[in-house]
Structure 1
Amino acid sequence: MNATPAERVAVILRDEFAAHGVRLPDIRADLGDPHQPQLELGTVPLGTGFALLRVLTDYQRLLKAERARSERRG
């Protein structure tokens, strides 16, 4: 069975945190609404919360740069 995009994102985030030495005990995709999947995190220790903020900020910055680059092309 192929993983959905939300499930792939959950795996990517888990791998990104592992690369920073942070283990997320519970991150999964909630596919209850296939049109709007959600990522669910279990209990996050304080240090992990700071790492989560850093990684998500990096992703947000990368997404913004990618959108700007796409707009310049189109």
Structure 2
Amino acid sequence: MNDPTPAERVAEILRDEFAAHGVRLPDVRADLSDPHQPRVELGTVPLGTGFALLRVLTDYQRLLKAEKAGGRPPAFGP
């Protein structure tokens, strides 16, 4: 059995994390066509799932900004 690549592991983690929150992303995959630039790709997502995905990614982006600035993480929510 082959060990999964980092991009394949990220795709699996994303699928599992979103599933734990009730968001189904069946078409998350690793694009390994360029070994120097592996990518995680999302296929078509239903509209409601798309909104949930945007919300999670926006919150994640806010956490990254706070971490880089060395401050406290922002509160989640509107």
How far did 1:18 drift? 0.5
Number of the residue aligned with 1:45: 46
Confirm or deny that 1:35 pairs with 2:36: yes
Confirm or deny that 1:16 pairs with 2:2: no
Please give the alpha-carbon distance, in whole angstroms, between the structure 2 residues aligned to 1:46 and 1:7.
Answer: 25
Specify every segment of 5 or more residues in structure 1 that has no aligned partner in the other structure, as ranges. 70-74
* Residues paired across the two proteins, number: 69
RMSD: 1.6
State the identity as a percent: 86
Q: Partner of 2:29: helix, strand, or coil?
A: strand
Confirm or deny that 1:2 pairs with 2:3: yes
Q: Structure 1, residues 7-50: CA drift from partner, whole Å, max 9, x if none?
A: 11111111121111011121100001111111121210000101
| Larger fraction in helix | 1
